[in-house]
Structure 1
Amino acid sequence: MAASALGRRGFEGRRIGPEASGRGRPCAVKVAGSRNPKVVTRRHALPAAAADSMLLGTVQPLDVYVTLCALIGSTAVVKTFDSLAERDLIEKNLSRKLIHTTCGPLFVLSWLFYTQSEYARLLAAVIPFVNGLRLFLIGSGAVTDAAAVKAVSREGDRTELLKGPFYYTCVLTLVTVWFWRRPAGIVALSIMCAGDGLADIVGRRLGRGNALFYNKSKSWAGSGAMLAGSFALSEILLALFASFGLLDPQDAAGAARVLLICVLCSVLESLPVNRALDDNITVPAAALVIGSQLL
């Protein structure tokens, strides 16, 4: 997709630069090897757009570097929690939810450092894909990793890794490919990671005596934590992406719409239906559907 001299729109259909008309007037052009618009005059915009178009069709070295760094970082975070749980320094349920709460947001932050190459999203998707493959191999018994089983499973059964944790990585992979740097994708992952993770962590500690009247296994404390965590992380990430020039500032300013999505998803997560359906699938799916309409 080539940059246009007349107010080019980004990959998600968002305007990146102002309208430019008239000879020599400035307009914004996005260069594939960079993250921010570069202001050029109209007479220089077409050559820049042609160069941009060629670069967009190639794998950028910066994207490969960011992918390797993010993969090493995510592996280090997971291994740290695995080690802490194996040595009984933290509860295994807490370890499982800390992995759930931290890895996703850290991964989304890595999106900020990729270029505008059309291959960037595919390289980024390698990170959750590799982690999902690791969980699949351990859960199926092809690879033995007692520390990972203890840190990620509820009851110490390796096959548990093939359910919630594996679904988590699948959602991260699919959202990266199909909702790359889009508000709906950012909000959906914020809700799945921070929201759902905090709901469990807070609910287990502060949920006694305030169970929901329609689902005794959920609490007002847990649901409130999910709503607060989802909304806070969504707003922080949207503001960051807007500050990097990757989102229209209006998307970061739509707090009321983001709050509505978080409220609806928090209600969904609290329903008894999630005993049969994994909320790592239902919650982000609902957030994506609603977010695609509102954001």
Structure 2
Amino acid sequence: MSLTPVIALESAINLELQFAVVGLWLGVVFLLAAWLYRLNPTYSEAVRKVVHIGTGNVILLAWWLDIPAWVGISASIVFSAIAFLSYYFPILPGINGVGRQSWGTFFYAVSIGLLIAAFWPLQQPQFAALGILTMTWGDGLAALVGQRFGKHPYRVWGMQKSWEGSATMFGISYLVCWLIFWAVYGSLWQTWLIPVGVALVATVLEAFSKLGIDNLTVPIGSAACAFLLYNWLHFI
């Protein structure tokens, strides 16, 4: 008797479970965001950060559940299209306002698909996770800290930043990178050194990005930097 139908059935069941776990997590994130927005529409920035940080952690589920690359890439395409349309139609109220001068949500979805396409075939999803989580947590918390506690501003290309926000970006980026390297490679000297370069690259990219493009440059730049540094220093 051929085992092919049995294997196909098991794969289908596994994929359904993966969809269920990811869908449950996203459902919780968007319900929380909707509740905040309904509670007070002026909380739009808080709503965006809840979605920004909450949805980014899907990359960890995709990694841990070994979700196929085609699923992640397909989801990225769908959400990129929704995000693009939301700038012209009220599809995601509280996350994107019609005519809002930022393409951050669109770039966010695109970056996830690009990193999955780059690192899943190499069987090194940790670098995709590193890039997305650096953007998710670093950029998200840097914005909140900068807005709330930024007492020392500076300007880059007409944009106002704060040293407090940039310091948060550097610290969180270092922590994210160190945690992932420690979990995958253990406590090697590269685990402590590489995050310094990654955090510096992420902080500079975040400071010099306009119109939300940091949601693309930060994850791709961070992942590429970590990948290149690891492959270089690994042989020293």
Structure with more helix by fraction: 2
Tell me the residue number matched to 1:255.
192
Q: Is 1:217 aligned with 2:154?
A: no
Amino acid at match of 2:60: V
Show the 5 A alignment for 1:140-219. Answer: 140-141=88-89, 144-145=90-91, 148-150=92-94, 152-153=95-96, 157-160=97-100, 163-180=103-120, 181-208=124-151, 210-212=152-154, 217-219=160-162
Question: Partners of 1:252 and 1:66 in 2: how far apart?
Answer: 35
Pairing partner for 1:227 from 164, 170, 174: 170
Pairing partner for 2:71 from 119, 123, 137: 123
Tell me the residue number matched to 1:82.
34
Q: Secondary structure at the match of 1:212?
A: strand
- What RMSD, in angstroms, separates the aligned Cα atoms of the two structures? 3.2
Change beyond 3 A, Cα 1:232–1:158: same
Tell me the residue number matched to 2:218.
283
Q: Secondary structure at the match of 1:275?
A: coil
Query: What are the ranges of 5 or more consecutive residues in structure 2 without an aligned counterpart?
Result: 231-236
Larger CA Rg, structure 1 vs 2: 1
Tell me if the contact between 2:22 and 2:61 (Cα under 8 Å) persists in the aligned partners.
Answer: no
Encode CA deviations 1:19-73: one digit per residue, 9 max, x unaligned.
xxxxxxxxxxxxxxxxxxxxxxxxxxxxxxxx9xxx79x9553133212320332
Q: TM-score with structure 1 length normalisation?
A: 0.63
Shift of 1:112: 0.4
Tell me if the contact between 2:101 and 2:211 (Cα under 8 Å) persists in the aligned partners.
Answer: no
Tell me the residue number matched to 1:14.
none
Tell me if the contact between 1:227 and 1:262 (Cα under 8 Å) persists in the aligned partners.
Answer: yes
Question: Partners of 1:239 and 1:128 in 2: how far apart?
Answer: 28
Pairing partner for 2:64 from 112, 115, 133: 112
Encode CA deviations 1:109-138: one digit per residue, 9 max, x unaligned.
3420227xxxx1222334444433433343
Question: Partners of 1:123 and 1:252 in 2: how far apart?
Answer: 35
Change beyond 3 A, Cα 1:176–1:68: farther
Tell me if the contact between 1:183 and 1:291 (Cα under 8 Å) persists in the aligned partners.
Answer: no
Change beyond 3 A, Cα 1:66–1:281: same
Question: Partners of 1:237 and 1:129 in 2: how far apart?
Answer: 26
Change beyond 3 A, Cα 1:169–1:225: same
Query: What are the ranges of 5 or more consecutive residues in structure 1 without an aligned counterpart?
Result: 1-50, 243-247
Q: Secondary structure at the match of 2:14?
A: helix
Change beyond 3 A, Cα 1:103–1:264: same
Question: Partners of 2:195 and 2:170 in 1: how far apart?
Answer: 11
Q: Secondary structure at the match of 2:161?
A: strand
Tell me if the contact between 1:74 and 1:107 (Cα under 8 Å) persists in the aligned partners.
Answer: no
Change beyond 3 A, Cα 1:204–1:239: same
Shift of 1:82: 2.5
Tell me if the contact between 2:80 and 2:109 (Cα under 8 Å) persists in the aligned partners.
Answer: yes
Tell me if the contact between 2:104 and 2:211 (Cα under 8 Å) persists in the aligned partners.
Answer: no
Question: Partners of 1:250 and 1:224 in 2: how far apart?
Answer: 25
Q: Secondary structure at the match of 1:149?
A: coil
Tell me if the contact between 1:199 and 1:226 (Cα under 8 Å) persists in the aligned partners.
Answer: yes
Q: Secondary structure at the match of 2:35?
A: helix
Q: TM-score with structure 2 length normalisation?
A: 0.77
Question: Partners of 2:54 and 2:85 in 1: how far apart?
Answer: 22
Aligned length, in residue pairs: 220
Tell me if the contact between 1:132 and 1:166 (Cα under 8 Å) persists in the aligned partners.
Answer: yes
Tell me if the contact between 1:84 and 1:90 (Cα under 8 Å) persists in the aligned partners.
Answer: no
